[in-house]
Amino acid sequence: MSATDGLKSGVPTLHHLSNSQSQRILWLLEELAIEYKLEYNVVLYSRGAKDKRAPKELASVHPLGRAPTLVTAEGRVLIESLTITTYLLKTYDADGRFATEDWVREDTLRSFAGASLFPLASLEMLFDLAEKNTPWPFSFIMRRIKKGFDNFFSNAEFKKDLVYLEGELGDAEWFNGKSLGQADFVMNWPLDVIAIRGYADLEKEYPKLHAWRLRVYERPAWKQALAKGNEYDLEMLG
């Protein structure tokens, strides 16, 4: 019996990987389910115990074999979180409950999250993985390289990025303003990586961003998404 047996037809299907950015897509789907009673399927995949990679089965859905992957109700296969969030909101947010009043600002923030903030966090994770999986004495060398990278580049870049986001959020509840929007869904993953893996102390240095994360975690849709997913432990990635 395959993982896709027994799925409802005529509804979107999320192919979801544990401990990954597809958790924010599951969150968005749950928000849409609450607001519009959207029905959807979710197919769960787990990372490898040793290599932390996605299983080969995901490649049968899309040749890149990555998550999130969304199969639309019409059967079109979508990849990339920004594309998927855009599609879901344009298709299912009929009343504009997650719409923005300033599309230029929203586009800037969602692009910043994917093109500036997360690549920096990804580099940090790669250094973590390299150090953890490199035998002694080379692991010591990797540790020194990472320390130099942090001191001369990433620490300052994280500070600039997070000061900027703290200012953009300001006293609003959400990056979208009074209501949740696409910028919030997209920002969730990189800020979780930074906070959970300790690349910056949001609670101490960026209290508005910290409070934003707590608000996300208190939403019923977030809690339901965690219950439907199979794990969200970002410390296990390296």
Please give the Cα distance from 171 to 10 (Å, whole number). Answer: 41
DSSP 3-state of 13: strand
C-alpha distances in Å from residue 101, one per residue of 98, 105, 108, 181, 215: 10, 9, 13, 10, 21
User: In the structure encoding, which two tokens stand for residue 164, read together?
Assistant: 């900027």
**Rounded CA separation 236/46 (Å):** 12
In this structure, are residues 222 and 216 in contact, taking their beta carbons and an 8 Å threshold? yes
Residue 207 confidence (pLDDT)? 98
Rounded Cα distance, 141 and 131, in Å: 8
Q: pLDDT tens digits, residue range 108-121?
A: 999 999 999 999 99
Query: How many Å is the Cα radius of gyration of the chain?
Result: 18
What percent of the chain lies above the pLDDT cut of 70? 95
Percentage above 90 pLDDT, the chain: 76
Give the three-class secondary structure for 154.
helix
List, for residues 149-205, the tens digit of each pLDDT value.
777 778 899 999 999 999 999 999 999 999 999 999 999 999 999 999 999 999 999
Name the nearest CA neighbour of 31 among 223, 221, 208, 224. 221
Q: What is the pTM of this model?
A: 0.92
pLDDT above 90: residue 217 = yes
Torsion angle in degrees (nearest 10) through CA of 226, 227, 233, 237: -90
Query: Is pLDDT above 90 for 124?
Result: no
Q: What pLDDT is attached to residue 1? A: 39
- In the chain the domains, ranked by start, together with CATH numbers, are 13-98+221-237 (3.40.30.10), 103-219 (1.20.1050.10)
State the Cα–Cα distance between residues 2 and 122, nearest whole angstrom.
32
Q: Has residue 211 got a pLDDT over 80?
A: yes
